[in-house]
Amino acid sequence: DVKVTQSSRYLVKRTGEKVFLECVQDMDHENMFWYRQDPGLGLRLIYFSYDVKMKEKGDIPEGYSVSREKKERFSLILESASTNQTSMYLCASSSPFLAVSSTDTQYFGPGTRLTVL
Amino acid sequence: QKEVEQDPGPLSVPEGAIVSLNCTYSNSAFQYFMWYRQYSRKGPELLMYTYSSGNKEDGRFTAQVDKSSKYISLFIRDSQPSDSATYLCAMSAIQAGTALIFGKGTTLSVSS
């Protein structure tokens, strides 16, 4: 089974703190993603990476950065946390291509519920 | 018009009911269609995966794609309280796994 793990299930931080969210996958997937999920807004893509040291901005990259030094690990960094970054953060991984006959698509971690006070 | 529209619900049904969950989309190039199930405070998990048009069945779940109407459905037969979750549709136009477009999810509650 694909396994995507995230470093924390729940996190509480203060405004202005630097926050690191870690994600590790064990399926040797090339692609990794960071989303945030908010009520009424659904899943929104923050950043994704298709290879080590490569990254692409998603729909809402402002206030975030990412790091991918190893294939299995993708980190999301909040440089200076703000209250509007309180959210559920979801990491996902996938192989490069969807396939007609397999279920090789994005697999998600359990999520980190971040509260910024 | 948003690329993928999904009624957020909530949808409440009694145990044993047949449930129909739907998404409409505007991009006729979408070919890959997925349904994810997300329990409260958990990450989404892949439930069904369909390529192009037609039906796919897995136990009590049936995924249906009608590309002519740009409409996909997930049917749950003999619904159980354990089916209570949020269901997200997702789709992609190309093979690249980076390009999934998600619906906002429909919250389902099955009462015993």
The SS3 of residue A57 is strand
How close, in Å, is residue A48 to chain B by CA atoms?
A: 8
Under 8 Å between Cβ of A110 and A9: yes
Tell me, yes or no, if B32 comes closer than 8 A to chain A by beta carbon. Answer: yes
Q: Are B5 and B17 in contact (CB under 8 A)?
A: no
Identify which of B8, B98, B102 has the shortest CB distance to residue A48: B98
Compute the average pLDDT of residues A48-77. 94
Residues 6+ apart with CB under 8 A from A107: A2, A4, A25, A27, A29, A92, A93, A94, B46
Residue A109 at interface with chain B, using a CB cutoff of 8 Å: yes
Indicate whether A22 pLDDT > 80.
yes
What pLDDT is attached to residue A100?
A: 58
- Token pair 């779940």 is found at B61
Average pLDDT estimate for A69-79: 96
B49 close to A (CB below 8 A): yes
Instruction: Name the residue in chain A with its Cα closest to that of B5.
Output: A42
Is B105:A42 a contact under the CB 8 Å cutoff?
Answer: yes
**Rounded average pLDDT per 10-residue block, chain B, 112 residues:** 86 97 94 93 92 90 95 97 97 74 95 94
Contact indicator for B1, B99 with CB cutoff of 8 Å: no
Q: Is B36 on the interface with A (CB under 8 A)?
A: yes
Q: What is the pLDDT of residue A106?
A: 87
Q: Do A113 and B41 touch (CB under 8 A)?
A: yes
Distance between CA atoms of A112 and B43, rounded to whole angstroms? 9
Calpha distance B72→B63 (Å, rounded): 7
Average pLDDT of span A47-64? 92
Q: Check if the beta carbon of residue B47 is closer than 8 Å to that of residue B37.
A: yes
Query: Which one of A97, A100, A110 has the shortest CB-CB distance to B97?
Result: A97
How many angstroms separate the Cα of B109 from the Cα of each of A47, B6, B40, B77? 32, 16, 11, 14
Q: Token pair of B86, please?
A: 């949020």
Give the Cα-Cα-Cα angle A21, A12, B86 (nearest 5 degrees): 70
Window 17-56 of A, Cβ < 8 Å to B: 31, 33, 40-43, 48, 50, 56
Average pLDDT over all residues of chain A: 91
